[in-house]
Amino acid sequence: MNKPRLLPWLVAVIPILIAVLYLRRGDVATPGAVLNGLGRLTGIGGLAFLLVSAALSCRVPGFDRPFGGLTKLWQTHHKLGGTALLLVLAHPVLLALGAAEVSITAAARTLVPARLDWSAVSGWSALLVMLVFLAPSFSFFGSPEYQRWRNLHRLATVAVVAALAHTTLAARTIAEPLNTIMWSGLAAAAVAAVAWRFVFSRRKGRLSYVVERVAHPASGLVELSLAPRADALTYEPGQFVYLAPYDHALRAGFGEEHPYTLSSSPTESLLRVAIKDLGDASRAIQRISTGSEVRIEGPYGAFFPRGDTHEPELWIAGGIGITPFLARARHLAATESHRAGPVDVNLIYGVQDETRAHFLDELERLAERTPGFRVTMHYFYREGPLQHEFLARHCPDFTARTAYVCGPVPLIELAEQLLAAAGVPRARIRTEEFTLL
C-alpha cells in the first residue's frame, strides 16, 4: 500500500489510540470492565473510520492521483466504510457483554434503555442506516445496480449526523476540549467532502458539451464526439470522466452520471468517449441524438504516468478495457513527430472472438504509424485463458517491462498472477478495473 493510501488508515486509528491513553486502571479491573472499555473503543473507532471514509468521497479531480486513481481511492473508501460498520456492530455488543457482569437486566438496558434515551436512539439510528447503505457494498450480497447503489450511499450523511449526535451525548472516555476538537476536525473534513460532492461540484465542477458526432464501431458500442460549449476539459490519455446525458429522447439514464473512459487524445479538438452497452443507461445512450447536451465532470484516474517515460511497456487489455489504451495509442501517433524518445509498447488485446475486437483496424493503423508500437490479438475461443507461454512467445522480454492491465476483473487477476509468478515486481504492475465508482 502506497503512503497516500495508508494515511487515511492512520488518521482513523488516531482517535482510538488517544482513547487508549485515557483508559484508567479501573477499565481493566474486571472482565466486564475490559469488555466495556473495548465497547467504547470500538464506538470511537467506528465513528472515526466512518468520518475518514466520508472525507474520501469528495471526488475532486486530481485528489485521486496520489492514491493511484479514483478506483484505488474509492477502494480505500469502501474498506474504511466496511471497517467502520464492523466496529459499530461490535460497539453495542461489547457494552452489553460488559454490563452482563452486573446482571442480564443491566445488559438488556444497555441495548434498550427503559426510558427514552436520545443517545441510544441516535446510536441505533446510525447503525441501522449504515447497514442499509453499506451492506450492498459487500460482495456477499452480489453486485448492486449502479444507480440504486449511488442513491443508497446518500444515506451516509444521515449516518454521520446520527453517529456524531450519539458520540456527543454519550462521550465519556476522552477529556474535553480534546474530544470536541478531534471530532470537529474529522467532521469538518467529512462535511467539506459531502458539500463538494453534492453541491459545489454540480455548479462549479461540471463542463457542458454538445454531442457533435455519434459513431457505432460495433454492435452495442458507441463512440461520442463532444464539442465544448465553453471551457474545455484538460486531461491525459487513459483518464475517465463522469458523464451525464440530457437528451429527453433517452428512455433511461437522463441526467444520470456514469463513469466512462475517454478514448480521445488530448491533442484532439473534440472529446471522444467510447461506451459499451453494459446496463440500462449505457444501452440507452447508444441512441443519443446529435446536438443534445452532456455534462462532464473530471478528469479522474492515474493509469498511465504523466508525460512520456520512454520505458518499455506491456499493455494487456480485455474487452472494452481497450479504451484507455486506444486513447494512449492515438496520443502516441499524434505526438510521434515531436516526441523526445522512441516508443516501445507491446499491446496484448484479449477478446472472445474476432467480432468483439473493437477498434482493432484502427489500432493496427496506429501501429503502422507509430514505430515501436505492436498489437497482438489473443482470442479466448482459440487460445483459452491468457498463459505465460503466450506472453513469452509474443513479448519475450515482458518481465522487464512495466505492465498496464485493464479489463474485466477475472482478466486483471489472472494477468497479475502471471506477471507476479514471472518475477515482475508489484510496483511495475498497474491496473485499472471497471468497478462501481
Is residue 437's pLDDT more than 60?
no
Average pLDDT, whole number, for the chain?
89
At 2 the pLDDT is 67
* Cross-strand bridge partners of residue 374: 346
At 68 the pLDDT is 84
Q: How does residue 59 score in pLDDT terms, banded at 50, 70 and 90?
A: confident
Share of the chain above pLDDT 90, in %: 65
At 65 the pLDDT is 87
At 423 the pLDDT is 94
pLDDT tens figures, 73-86: 888 998 999 999 99
At 210 the pLDDT is 97
pLDDT tens figures, 167-190: 988 888 888 899 999 999 999 999
Please report the domains of the chain, with CATH numbers, ordered by start residue: 3-203 (1.20.120), 206-300 (2.40.30.10), 313-433 (3.40.50.80)
Cα(419)–Cα(134) distance, rounded to whole angstroms?
A: 33
Amino acid residing at 76? T
At 432 the pLDDT is 84
Q: How does residue 253 score in pLDDT terms, banded at 50, 70 and 90?
A: confident
**Cell 476483473 sits on residue:** 409
113 preceded by cis ω (within 30°)? no
pTM: 0.84
Q: How does residue 42 score in pLDDT terms, banded at 50, 70 and 90?
A: very high
114-118 contacts, C-beta under 8 A, 24 or more apart = 118/165, 118/169
pLDDT tens figures, 114-136: 888 999 999 999 999 988 877 66
- 147-161, 254-268, 390-404: range with lowest mean pLDDT: 147-161
**Cell 513527430 sits on residue:** 337
